[in-house]
Structure 1
Amino acid sequence: MFTGIIEATGIVQNIEKKGENIHFTLTCPFTQELKIDQSLAHNGCCLTVVEIDGDQYGVTAIAESLIKTNLGQWNSGSEINLERCLKFDGRLDGHLVQGHVDRTGTVKNIEDKDGSYFVTIQYSETEDFTTVAQGSITVNGISLTVAKSENNTFSVALIPYTWEFTNMKNLKIGDMVNLEFDIIGKYITKLMKNNATLSL
């Protein structure tokens, strides 16, 4: 479980395809604090640390993760948002995030609001996922508040710190981002669909 509060960014050093999977080697400021089998969210996707070598560590993304996320678009040098798993002896500064990416979205517009940034993202229309204004959404692992919600489109407003401290500053129109919708909203959506089916 995560909070969507990014600890640091990491840099992809090497990419190795192994069958249908991809093994990534990265560096980050806290590599020396990591341990084998530890869960670490990469752009919001929970991956297990499988090796540590000096200032580098390795994770493997299986085919299922590659299908649902933007991991397959990473290159050597890509900057990745990182968060270690939640410790239950501290404050929950973001919202409850599972690290299970639901789908990807596409950046449709980026507005510079004289220091803050208003980013609009579109995702494939589906009844399974929805956003609401002032609700929570995770974009590339970042816990954000929905500023505007429409059918299969939503916008978020980012303060300068979030923009500069994460990889959001690298976004361009047309880029693919990882999305994890609010878990409470997902449960409510499923319950409503089940109730509607039972009433037919």
Structure 2
Amino acid sequence: MFTGLVADLGEVVGVDAGDEGVRLTVRTSLAPEIAEGDSVAVNGVCLTATNIADGAFSADVMNESLRRTSLSEVAAGRSVNLELPLRAHDRLGGHFVQGHVDGVATVRDVREDGFARVVTFDAAPELLRYIVEKGSIAVDGVSLTVSAVDEDSFAVSLIPETLERTTLGTAEPGRPVNLEVDVLAKYVEKLAR
């Protein structure tokens, strides 16, 4: 369980791809806090650390995760949003994020709005049905509030702190992002059937 509050911008320093999946190696200031077997959210995808050495951790990304997330496009030298799992005594500052990506959206538009930046994403109808204005959403693992939604897209407004501390500060049209809709919306839909 995560909160969607990014703890560090890590740098991908290795991508070992094969037919069976990908082993990512990420350099991060969080490495001293990670042990083998720990969960780490990488751009919102819950992965298991398999090796920690020299200020970096490695994690295996199976083909299923590569098909369903934007991690298939991550390359060495790219920044990724990182979060360690929520501990029982931690504050819950974002919202409950599982690290189970529901799908990929694409940045449609980026525009300035005072000191904020509005980013609009194209998303599939099967994801949009769970997205509501002023509801919670995790975009690349970042807990955000939806500022607008229509039949084929949604938007979020990003404050300078989010722009500086996450990969969303470099969002540009065409870039894929991981989405995790609010899990409560999925349970409400199931109960309403």
* Aligned partner of residue 105 in structure 1, secondary structure: strand
Q: What letter corresponds to residue 105 of structure 2 in structure 1? A: G
The residue that corresponds to 1:198 in the other structure is: none
Structure 2, unaligned stretches of length 5 or more?
none
Cα deviation per residue 1:141-169 (whole Å; 9 max; x = unaligned)?
A: 00000101112311000100101111111
C-alpha distance in structure 2 between counterparts of 1:187 and 1:35, whole Å: 33
Q: How does 1:25-64 map to 2 (within 5 A)?
A: 25-64=25-64
Cα deviation per residue 1:159-198 (whole Å; 9 max; x = unaligned)?
A: 0010111111121101000000000111112333xx2xxx
Q: What letter corresponds to residue 55 of structure 1 in structure 2? A: G
| TM norm structure 2 | 0.96
Cα deviation per residue 1:26-68 (whole Å; 9 max; x = unaligned)?
A: 1001212210000000000000000011212101100110011
> Residues 129 and 189 of structure 1 are in contact (CA less than 8 Å); yes or no, is this contact kept in structure 2?
no
> Residues 128 and 190 of structure 1 are in contact (CA less than 8 Å); yes or no, is this contact kept in structure 2?
no
> Residues 43 and 140 of structure 1 are in contact (CA less than 8 Å); yes or no, is this contact kept in structure 2?
yes
> Residues 147 and 154 of structure 1 are in contact (CA less than 8 Å); yes or no, is this contact kept in structure 2?
yes
The residue that corresponds to 1:112 in the other structure is: 112
Q: How does 1:123-138 map to 2 (within 5 A)?
A: 123-126=123-126, 129-138=129-138
> Residues 127 and 181 of structure 2 are in contact (CA less than 8 Å); yes or no, is this contact kept in structure 1?
no
The residue that corresponds to 2:98 in the other structure is: 98
> Residues 102 and 127 of structure 2 are in contact (CA less than 8 Å); yes or no, is this contact kept in structure 1?
no
- The yes-or-no answer on 1:178 pairing with 2:148 is no
The residue that corresponds to 2:140 in the other structure is: 140
The residue that corresponds to 1:191 in the other structure is: 191
Q: What letter corresponds to residue 7 of structure 2 in structure 1? A: E
* Aligned partner of residue 126 in structure 1, secondary structure: helix
**Structural RMSD (CA):** 1.3
Structure 1, unaligned stretches of length 5 or more?
196-200
C-alpha distance in structure 1 between counterparts of 2:95 and 2:114, whole Å: 27
C-alpha distance in structure 2 between counterparts of 1:127 and 1:190, whole Å: 15
Q: Percent identity?
A: 36
> Displacement, 1:20?
2.7
The residue that corresponds to 2:11 in the other structure is: 11
> Displacement, 1:90?
2.1
Name which one, 1 or 2, has greater alpha-carbon Rg: 1
> Residues 68 and 101 of structure 1 are in contact (CA less than 8 Å); yes or no, is this contact kept in structure 2?
yes
Q: What letter corresponds to residue 139 of structure 1 in structure 2? A: V
* Aligned partner of residue 99 in structure 1, secondary structure: coil
Assess, with a 3 A threshold, how the Cα gap between structure 1 residues 13 and 127 changes in structure 2: closer, same or farther: closer
C-alpha distance in structure 2 between counterparts of 1:25 and 1:126, whole Å: 32
Q: What letter corresponds to residue 124 of structure 1 in structure 2? A: A
C-alpha distance in structure 2 between counterparts of 1:14 and 1:35, whole Å: 19
How many corresponding residue pairs? 193
* Aligned partner of residue 4 in structure 1, secondary structure: coil
* Aligned partner of residue 60 in structure 1, secondary structure: strand
Assess, with a 3 A threshold, how the Cα gap between structure 1 residues 26 and 36 changes in structure 2: closer, same or farther: same
C-alpha distance in structure 2 between counterparts of 1:38 and 1:172, whole Å: 32
